A = this chain, B = another copy of it.
Amino acid sequence: MNPVLEHLCAHRSERDFSARPVDDETLAAVFEATRRAPTWNNAQNVSWVTVRDPRTKAALARCSGNQAWIERAPVFVVLLMDFHKTELAAGRHGRRQLVLDNVNSVLIGALDTGILMGTMMAAARAAGLGVCPIGGVRRGMDEAIELLRLPRLVAPLAGVCLGYPHAASKVRKPRMALEASWHPEAYDRERVAEAIDAMDADMDGYSRGLGREGAQNWSDAVSSRYAADAYGGVGPALRRQGFCFEWEEGV
């Protein structure tokens, strides 16, 4: 198999980082690949803060829902959607970023942050690092904005723990069958319904393999998480940062 495809297929998350530091040269190589990924209109509405300070990492670990591996990782990267760059560009030409009044702005920012985040994780693993993606950084969005001193039009969307793992994790979480995601010509609901039974069974096997008897299967785990919502602060925080997502219009 092509080594790049093999590398991409081998993604796994690491949470058990050693104290071995990550030097700036390694980060620079990873971020050079990140920077080369494409963005909407080449507008580059993505930035990231690298956090090494133990106090900041501890605060971010707490406000991300007590995720201890954020503290344990020598570097925690917080990925930002960043319309401050294009605000400066608009200022040079006396223009207004009308695009910000529409939920499409949040889609631009989040999609491009995701493209760069996927690239960053693949690059970091290629540089010998372990990675763990963190969505919980949005859980305490206000606090993260303050800790990282983010200006208006910049918001933290996700994080990546970076470091050298003690021992590379041997297990990979199961995924739904390819047929549940890849639809030829039009969306086919049947493919999705069929895949959930298999996914639940795979997740049971995975949990047993880790000695976690009685763990929730996939549909139970994901639906119980999605039936709760600890992210009520996200909307207000985004609005305070200058994102409108058509708030003022009628339905």
Interface of A toward B, CB cutoff 8 Å: 1-5, 7-11, 13, 27-38, 40-44, 46-53, 56, 80, 82, 84-86, 88-90, 92-93, 95-104, 106-108, 110-119, 121-123, 126-127, 133, 135, 138, 147-151, 154, 157-158, 172-173, 175-176, 178, 180-187, 189, 192-193, 196, 218-229, 231-232, 234-235, 238-239, 245-247, 249, 251
Is the CB–CB distance between A32 and B9 below 8 Å?
A: yes
Cβ-defined contact, A185 with B50, below 8 A: yes
Q: Nearest Cβ in chain B — how far from A81, in angstroms?
A: 9
Known: A106-B107, A186-B149. A90 touches B226 (CB 8 A): yes
A114–B120 Cα distance when bound, in Å, is 12
A204 vs B238: C-alpha distance when bound (angstroms) = 34
Using CB atoms, name the residue of chain B closest to A4: B126
Contact (Cβ within 8 A) B56 A36: no
Q: Which residues of B lie under 8 Å from residue A246 when comparing CB positions?
A: 235
Question: In whole Å, how far is A199's beta carbon from the nearest beta carbon of chain B?
Answer: 8
Most chain B Cβ neighbours within 10 Å, of A80, A108, A115:
A115
With contacts A9-B32, A36-B9, A107-B106 taken as known, whether A135 is within 8 angstroms of B41 at the C-beta atoms is yes
Name the residue among A29, A112, A151 with the largest chain B CB count within 10 angstroms: A112
Q: By the criterion CB–CB under 8 Å, are A36 and B8 in contact? A: yes
Across the interface, do B37 and A226 meet the contact criterion of CB distance under 8 Å? no
Contact of A226 with B97 in the complex, beta carbons under 8 Å: yes
CB distance from A204 to the nearest CB of B (A): 14
Shortest A101–chain B CB gap in Å is: 7
Per a CB cutoff under 8 Å, which of B51, B90, B226 touches A43? B226
- A-B contacts, 10 of them at CB < 8 A, read A8-B126, A31-B181, A34-B181, A48-B181, A84-B189, A89-B220, A104-B235, A106-B106, A107-B110, A110-B111
